[in-house]
Amino acid sequence: MARIVMKFGGTSVADIDRIRNVARHVKREADSGHEVAVVVSAMAGKTNELVELTRAASPMHDAREYDAIVASGELVTAGLLAIVLQSMGVDARSWQGWQIPLKTDMAHGKARIADIEGEALGEAIDNGEIAICAGFQGIAPDGRIATLGRGGSDTSAVALAAAVGAERCDIYTDVDGVYTTDPRLAKQARRIGKISFEEMLEMASVGAKVLQTRSVELAMAYKVPVRVLSSFDPPDAPGPGTLICDEDDIVEKNIVTTVTPDFNEASVTILAVPDEPGRAAGIFNALAASNINIDMIVI
Ligand code: ADP
Ligand code: ASP
Ligand code: MG
């Protein structure tokens, strides 16, 4: 019997029928004797809709209120999945970020996880309860809800897996694994059986949105094996998916594993930076303080 965390993304919980399908995947694991915690995203399109509403209210808005609004999508799906599981005779309970509590820093809208007090959650799981956690959110030092950046439920799932000592974290999405390139863009893409944390981190950081970059960083740091698999596979016969694991566990090593296109990169040129100690640091510290990732620096 293993303890596992299962995460379901937006398309997997897009409506009640799909939530029922997710519940069948969860029940399969519970019936086979596993201790299970689940992390859910908001229904597909919900977070975009909430972001748009926030912008419509005022293009310049308070980040704490943005978080209060956009975090609500995950609260709905966590409650709905708990109700569906209960109706199937499974002992399930929803957990909001602050109830866990999953503690973050103060970077509202793009917060980092500072700490997870996993005791209460672990106890509930020990007692055979399925804990359904709202992804994408935690509680900041100001006592207010904070969100983890777009795609942040992946990071919630891996962090919770590390906090409750799970054997692995299964990320269920709308493709049946990690492919050599985005399978929606190239039909020739092939599913990869196993990929190392390092390779996956590289892919995610250049824009392969199948996993949020921070989730891979955490998986690598805490050595949590992650599987990516499809929630659309039959719940009684899920496919093998892709295992993201330590390089040492991979026998066949390729020189080039994947190709990742990036449509969201911006190139910024800063001219006439004086060649003096501390000047470049001043620029990079300001960018880091705003949580802006830099992929490449050309001098
Ligand atoms: P979820 O809502 O489940 O979190 P996402 O939309 O965030 O799902 O991520 C899944 C998507 O990632 C896929 O639909 C696919 O288009 C995209 N993707 C990009 N690169 C890859 C890749 N190399 N392998 C698999 N999926 C990829
Ligand atoms: N619902 C959030 C988003 O759309 C978080 C997630 O799905 O991972 O970004
Ligand atoms: Mg995602």
For ligand 1, say whether the CB of 208 is within 6 Å of any of its atoms.
Answer: yes
pLDDT average, residue stretch 176-195? 95
Cα of 152 from ligand 2 centre, angstroms: 6
Element (H or E) spanning 76, and its range?
Answer: helix 72-87
Q: How confident is the model at residue 16 (pLDDT cuts 50, 70, 90)?
A: very high
Please determine, for residue 90, whether its predicted confidence score (pLDDT) is greater than 80: yes
For ligand 1, say whether the CB of 39 is within 6 Å of any of its atoms.
Answer: no
Cα of 283 from ligand 3 centre, angstroms: 30
What is residue 65's predicted lDDT score, i.e. its pLDDT?
A: 98
Which two three-digit tokens encode residue 161? 């897996």
What is residue 226's predicted lDDT score, i.e. its pLDDT?
A: 98
* 101-158 tens-digit pLDDT: 999 999 999 999 999 998 999 999 999 999 999 999 999 999 999 999 999 999 999 9
What is residue 70's predicted lDDT score, i.e. its pLDDT?
A: 98
pLDDT average, residue stretch 84-90? 98
For ligand 2, say whether the CB of 228 is within 6 Å of any of its atoms.
Answer: no
pLDDT average, residue stretch 62-90? 98
Cα of 256 from ligand 3 centre, angstroms: 24
pLDDT average, residue stretch 77-81? 98
Backbone phi, psi, residue 254, to 5°: -105, 155
| Sequence-ordered list of residues with C-beta below 8 angstroms from that of 216, at least 6 positions apart, any chain | 158, 197, 200, 201, 204, 226, 244
Lowest mean pLDDT among 19-23, 138-142, 177-181, 280-284: 280-284
pLDDT average, residue stretch 284-295? 85
Residues 192 and 256: their CA atoms lie apart, in Å, by: 12
For ligand 2, say whether the CB of 118 is within 6 Å of any of its atoms.
Answer: no
Residues 160 and 116: their CA atoms lie apart, in Å, by: 7
* 220-253 tens-digit pLDDT: 999 999 999 999 999 999 999 999 999 877 777 6
Residues 79 and 85: their CA atoms lie apart, in Å, by: 10
